[in-house]
Amino acid sequence: MSKPIVATTSLAGCFGCHMSFLDIDERILELIDLVEFHKSPINDIKEFTKQCDIGLIEGGCANSENIEVLRDFREHCDILVSLGECAIMGGLPSLRNGIPVKECIHEAYLDGPTVGSNTQKVLPNDDELPMILDRVYPCHEVVKIDYYLPGCAPRADLIWNAVVALVTGDEMELPYELVKFD
Amino acid sequence: MKKDGKLYFEIDGKPCYAEEGQSIIDAATENGVFIPSLCHMEGVKPAGSCRICNVKVDGRNMTACTTPVEDGMIVENDIPELTELRKAIVETLFVSGNHHCPTCEKSGNCELQALAYRFQMLVPRFPYKFPEKGVNPRSDQIYHDRNRCILCKRCIRTVTKDGKHVFAYHGRGGEDLHVAIDEELASRLTDEEALEAMENCPVGAILKKERGFEVPIGERKYDHQPIGSEIEN
Amino acid sequence: MKGKISSIINKYNQDRGRLLDMLLDIQNEFSCIPHEAVGVLAEELDISEVNVEETVSFYHFFTREPAGKYAVYLNNSPVSFIYGRAEVAETFEKEVGVSFNEVTEDGLIGLWETADIGMNDQEPAAIINDTLFTELTRAKVKKIVRAMKEGKEIKEIAEDVAEAMYNRDGLRTMVKNNLHTKATVLFSEVELGKALKKAVGLSPEEIVEEIKDSNLRGRGGAGFPTGLKWDFCRRSKGERVFLICNADEGEPGTFKDRVIMTQLPEQLFESMAIAAHALEAQEGFVYLRYEYSYMKDYLEGVLQKMRDDNLLGKNILGKEGFDFDIRIQLGAGSYVCGAESALIESMEGKRGEPRNRPPFPVQRGYQDYPTVVNNVETLAKVAPIMIRGAEWFKSIGTKESAGTKLLSISGDCQEPGVYEMEWGMTIREMLEMVGAPDTQAVIVGGPSGVCIDPTHFGRSVAFEDLATGGSMILVGEQRDLLEEFILPFTNFFIEESCGSCTPCRDLTVILRDKLLKILNGNGSQKDIDELYEWGQMGKDANRCGLGQTSANPILTTIENFRNLYEERVQTDEDYVSTFDFEKAVADSCEAVGRVPNIPSH
């Protein structure tokens, strides 16, 4: 019997959730016995070439590329999991949600204290660049999400419990110490 | 039913005793029963505003903080219908403000967050609203962040030594109501008063300036035990 | 400015409890509550500025910026749109030269929106300063704006544009009564003073018994037995006792109290005196909604005449120690103040937030003394019952609903107006009576009531079936029920929520957004189910009637018109995203100067 296939990605996130995933330490050896990894920064596979069972999404959607990747994941994964606060509610990037995007761009490229090197006052407008969204969207506003693992980052044990439960079909345990929003 | 001059009542079948005039929530606490609430606070008039302490008395919903115990009262508290309602109210508060727990000074000591933990909220069932709320850093002592305010009225029911209100509701309705701060009075608060205002706030909306992140993760109030476990026996 | 404000504060003896009156006077004087006034009020009343502002910001008719020398408040009730509100609004904007929520540069004219002003039978209607303008048309609006620009007196302008003026004892108004009597309890000829004379000969207990016997129940909507309420109040044995007549008729679609107060104020006040005798109350109040301030002077005149005739005042009708007088307290624009304990808070000069119960107002009400709050219609029925007796009253109506009810009927029908009819009439009979053959829905009891479809039209208007405070909004087949009625009514509840209870304040917004998701074509069957499920939560969880019923427009239409929701659902999927790619990238692309390249899928 073939092993369940897992894909992961980080959208508008800090990779902290992936770091936390690696904090399962030596259980990573058990994990590779249990599942096969497909598209993921962990193995650097860049494109989907087959249907996956589980997709773990870190980060919310701040730009058009995030949207496209997320939709790609929805298409290629039977189960999608929002991993961490950014995927669930926008997280830190969504602190900008109360500020019009134009002001954000001006602060970043024209008016802010760190724009010293942008002497030409260039705004990023190349067609190849992702387009910034008007606000940061939680993943479940864009596609259907099946499960949520909160935390900043989610505790390694929580991720481990969840992946094992999804793979084995067992009930997932949610001990008090593991479900935290920070 | 009375015993030693105390009123007898039951919460979920557990025999309890209360003083005449005592509210259900206070009596419950004394009897080792936790009834969750976000607006209730010792020393101020109950507001009955967060609605989380809704219990059933004779099948009717009543807020435990505003309803006095009556002799022989039968109270339902820990039942699926009420847990579901309370969880929904907590979720309502999460989506109606901007609660960025990872960036908040109160995280780990926040009662809203603690209730969400207790009710095992993984994601609110309602869509996030990301409302524009604003902050007011202008007073000398208090940093007032309305993004985190849950409008529980704790701050607006407290007064300074000379009986003045530093905080008050402003506006009305689902999209306009907020808490306003009297900047001048807030600037005149003593360090102790400002710290007390911060501690009274169940969330991180009222912060004493230059205070925060004092207790490391792992040692905060709700890191290891759910809110209410200090009451329950 | 400070001097003027101080003298207003002094007029009310620096009594913080009269803050509402002070603010009304200040708004009147400066067409706003100036910043300086907040400071002076705070200082002289010894409270903080945020405490003054919490009250100011609660009421719709207090503004922080000048509202205009002529402040035009145009009603925006759903029914007003049936009668051409949109073109009236457009004409105002065009003629005045500013949009709504703006004031002309010279400060002369301000255009504002306001919720249901109790004129649904003669829409479109507007309040300009304290004068009512009804049945507005393009032509009338042009005339009004021209006259305002000429600086004419507002009352004079009303005379000029009105087709006819209603005239009674100094009240001159465009507002029509539109009264139809099908059964007569209220509008039977009652000789002034006769009922009170009889009451004075009875003991308070005997009066309470008579009212209890009559089975008179509250006409505001809740239907609480009036005699029982009085009895509870008597049992509280207060040192002082207050009687308040609730004339804050704010439920959208109701306007019957307006007609009672216009046509039968003597009977109302006489009934209050009888109630006062029964309750041993010395002071009475009429809490009059701001929208009806045009009749305040008139009502004051009636009160004075009754004092002169010894029907009010000291030793009424010669009875030693029977002292009772009535003061009119004006509101300032808030729907929730119709809830009795919110009304009491407002009377005390505070935000109109409903109180927690217990204690009930009959135990601890105005200024913490036992207080009875009765609706205008309830009280006005006391005098006829006194004269003709409980048995007579019970012989009219049905078993559980004695007497008559005033219905305020508006919307799609030939003869909108106020109808006095016996309890027990069916909806179908009612529709025939007013000429409404093609009715899609009847909103019984206003938005806080139920919205019924034709399968319910055989039901009767009575406490035992369709209980109602009397608002009947008829929705014709040609209307979009959800867009034109249910959405604006839900927005109305969001705006009018005092904000105290979490579910009322925040959940109603969530419901509205979910409703919009469905109306915008992004809904699923699951969304309809969730909308219903979430709507149920507030029913038991909130403190007051507003919060408990704010989901009713949505809930009762999902129950009775689910097909209207399902028509908007475009897919069998249970998840539909509201994410709009094009819209989401538009602003940033514009900001950096690039053409959006939206992926095709």
Looking up residue B19, the CATH number of its domain turns out to be 3.10.20.740
Contacts of B213 (CB under 8 A, 6+ apart): B105
Looking at chain C, how many residues does it have?
A: 601
Residue B141 and residue B101 share a domain: yes
Return the structure tokens found at C305: 């005449």
Say if B74 is an interface residue toward chain C (CB within 8 Å): no
* B228 found inside a domain: no
Residue C182 has pLDDT above 90, yes or no: no
Please give the CATH number for the structural domain made up of A5-95+136-178: 3.40.50.700
Q: Which residues of B touch C510 (CB under 8 A)?
A: 92, 95-96, 126-127, 129
* C591, C594, C599: residue with CB nearest A102: C591
Q: Which residues of A touch C593 (CB under 8 A)?
A: 123, 125
| C481 and C453 Cβ atoms separated by less than 8 Å | no
Residue B104 and residue B35 share a domain: no
Mutation site for C-interface testing, chosen from B172, B175, B206 by largest number of C Cβ within 10 Å: B172
Gap between the Cα atoms of C587 and C510, Å rounded = 26
Mean of per-residue pLDDT scores for chain C: 96
Write down which chains contact chain C via at least 3 CB pairs under 8 A: A, B
Nearest 5°: the CA angle C45, C49, C50 is: 125
The type of residue at C539 is K
Write down which chains contact chain B via at least 3 CB pairs under 8 A: A, C
* B1 found inside a domain: no
* B202 found inside a domain: yes
Residue C328 has pLDDT above 60, yes or no: yes
Crossing angle of helices C138-149/C154-161, nearest 10°? 150
Options 3.30.300.30, 3.40.30.10, 3.40.50.720, 3.30.470.20; CATH for C70-173 is 3.40.30.10
Return the structure tokens found at C292: 């009806």
**Mean pLDDT in residue range C500-521:** 97
Nearest 5°: the CA angle C119, C124, C129 is: 75
| B24 and B68 Cβ atoms separated by less than 8 Å | yes
**Selection from A53, A71, A73, A62 nearest residue A9 by Cα:** A73
pLDDT digits (tens, 9 = 90+) for C261-276: 999 999 999 999 999 9
- Domain boundary residue among B77, B106, B137? B77
* B230 found inside a domain: no
Interface of A with C (CB under 8 A): 64, 67-68, 71, 100-102, 105-106, 123-127, 131-135, 137, 141-144
Q: What is the pLDDT of residue C60?
A: 97
Instruction: Assign C245 a pLDDT band (cuts: 50, 70, 90).
Output: very high
Return the structure tokens found at C131: 């004068």
Positions of chain A with pLDDT under 50: none
Count the Cβ atoms, other than its own, within 10 Å of residue C192.
Answer: 15
CB contact under 8 Å between A133 and C588, yes or no, is yes
Return the structure tokens found at C175: 């507002």
Q: Chain B residue with minimal CA distance to C539?
A: B61
Q: How far is B211 from chain C (nearest CA, A)?
A: 25
| B206 and B104 Cβ atoms separated by less than 8 Å | no
Q: What is the pLDDT of residue C601?
A: 57
Return the structure tokens found at C54: 């919490």
Q: What percent of chain B has pLDDT over 70?
A: 100
The residues that bridge with A52 in the sheet, in sequence order, are A77
Contacts of C529 (CB under 8 A, 6+ apart): none
**Selection from B34, B207, B52 nearest residue B135 by Cα:** B207
Q: Chain B residue with minimal CA distance to C39?
A: B182
Q: How far is B132 from chain A (nearest CA, A)?
A: 5
Q: What is the pLDDT of residue C222?
A: 86
Rounded to 10 degrees, the C-alpha dihedral B160/B165/B166/B169 comes to 150
What letter would DSSP give residue A4? P
Rounded to 10 degrees, the C-alpha dihedral B64/B66/B68/B72 comes to -30
Instruction: Assign C248 a pLDDT band (cuts: 50, 70, 90).
Output: very high
Given the cut 0.90, state whether the ipTM is greater than it: yes
What letter would DSSP give residue C485? I
Mean of per-residue pLDDT scores for chain B: 96
Mutation site for C-interface testing, chosen from B39, B50, B51 by largest number of C Cβ within 10 Å: B51
Q: Chain B residue with minimal CA distance to A82?
A: B123
CB contact under 8 Å between C50 and B68, yes or no, is no
Gap between the Cα atoms of C390 and C216, Å rounded = 9
Gap between the Cα atoms of A96 and A111, Å rounded = 16
Tracing tokens 């009512």 back to the chain, one arrives at C132
A-C Cβ pairs (cutoff 8 Å, strict): 59
Residue B93 and residue B200 share a domain: yes
Q: What is the pLDDT of residue A1?
A: 59
Q: For the residues of C302-330, what is the DSSP string, one character each?
A: HHHHHHHTTSSBSSGGG-TT--BEEEEEE
Q: How far is C77 from chain B (nearest CA, A)?
A: 18
Q: What is the pLDDT of residue C260?
A: 97
Q: For the residues of C576-597, what is the DSSP string, one character each?
A: -----HHHHHHHHHHHHT----
Return the structure tokens found at A175: 């001990």
The type of residue at A67 is I
Report H helices in C455-561. Answer: 481, 487-496, 502, 508-519, 525-541, 545-549, 552-560
**Mean pLDDT in residue range C248-258:** 97
Q: Which residues of A touch C597 (CB under 8 A)?
A: 127, 131
Domain containing residue B148: CATH number: 3.30.70.20
Return the structure tokens found at C157: 């302008």
Q: How far is C585 from chain A (nearest CA, A)?
A: 5
* B103, B123, B131: residue with CB nearest A88: B123
Residue C188 has pLDDT above 80, yes or no: no
Mutation site for B-interface testing, chosen from C58, C491, C502 by largest number of B Cβ within 10 Å: C502
The region that residue C277 occupies, defined by phi over 0 for left and psi between -120 and 50 for alpha, beta otherwise, is alpha
User: What are the distances in angstroms from CA B165 to CA B62, B133, C44, C48, C324?
Assistant: 28, 21, 15, 6, 37
User: What are the distances in angstroms from CA C126 to CA B132, B152, C86, C111?
Assistant: 32, 37, 13, 10
Mutation site for C-interface testing, chosen from A101, A123, A129 by largest number of C Cβ within 10 Å: A101
pLDDT digits (tens, 9 = 90+) for C39-91: 999 999 999 999 999 999 999 999 999 999 999 999 999 999 999 999 999 99
Q: Which residues of C257-270 are buried (b: 16+ CB within 10 A; e: fewer)?
A: bbbbbbbbbbbbbb
pLDDT digits (tens, 9 = 90+) for C449-476: 999 999 999 999 999 999 999 999 999 9
* B227 found inside a domain: no
Contacts of C432 (CB under 8 A, 6+ apart): none
What letter would DSSP give residue A130? P
The answer to which of B10-24, C77-91, C181-195 has the lowest mean pLDDT is C181-195
Q: How far is B57 from chain C (nearest CA, A)?
A: 12
Provide the number of structural domains found in chain B.
Answer: 2
CB contact under 8 Å between B47 and C500, yes or no, is yes
Under CATH, what is the fold of the domain C480-601?
de novo design (two linked rop proteins) (1.20.1440)
> Do strands C283-288 and C325-330 pair parallel, antiparallel, or not at all (unpaired)?
parallel
Q: What is the pLDDT of residue C170?
A: 85
Count the Cβ atoms, other than its own, within 10 Å of residue C586.
Answer: 16
Gap between the Cα atoms of C61 and C52, Å rounded = 15
Residue B124 and residue B73 share a domain: no
- Domain that includes residue B156, residue range: 86-208
Q: Which residues of B touch A94 (CB under 8 A)?
A: 98, 100, 130
Return the structure tokens found at B93: 């508060």
- Domain boundary residue among B32, B51, B77? B77
Return the structure tokens found at A179: 């479900």
What letter would DSSP give residue C335? G
Q: What is the pLDDT of residue C268?
A: 97
Mutation site for A-interface testing, chosen from C579, C589, C598 by largest number of A Cβ within 10 Å: C579
Q: What is the pLDDT of residue A16?
A: 97
Crossing angle of helices C226-235/C265-279, nearest 10°? 40
Report H helices in C242-374. Answer: 256-263, 265-279, 296-308, 340-347
pLDDT digits (tens, 9 = 90+) for B55-110: 999 999 999 999 999 999 999 999 999 999 999 999 999 999 999 999 999 999 99
- Domain boundary residue among B59, B77, B95? B77
pLDDT digits (tens, 9 = 90+) for A105-137: 999 999 998 888 888 899 999 999 999 999 999
CB contact under 8 Å between C510 and B173, yes or no, is no
Mean of per-residue pLDDT scores for chain A: 95
Residue B58 and residue B133 share a domain: no
* Architecture of the domain spanning C181-394: 3-Layer(aba) Sandwich (3.40)
pLDDT digits (tens, 9 = 90+) for C343-363: 999 999 999 999 999 999 999
Residue B70 and residue B34 share a domain: yes
Q: What is the pLDDT of residue B82?
A: 97
| Residue A11 CA, distance from chain mean position | 5
Instruction: Assign C575 a pLDDT band (cuts: 50, 70, 90).
Output: very high
Options 1.10.30.50, 3.10.20.30, 3.10.20.600, 3.30.70.100; CATH for C404-476 is 3.10.20.600
Q: What is the pLDDT of residue C339?
A: 96
* C50, C53, C496: residue with CB nearest B173: C496
Q: Which residues of B touch A88 (CB under 8 A)?
A: 122-123
* C585, C592, C599: residue with CB nearest A105: C592
| B80 and B179 Cβ atoms separated by less than 8 Å | no
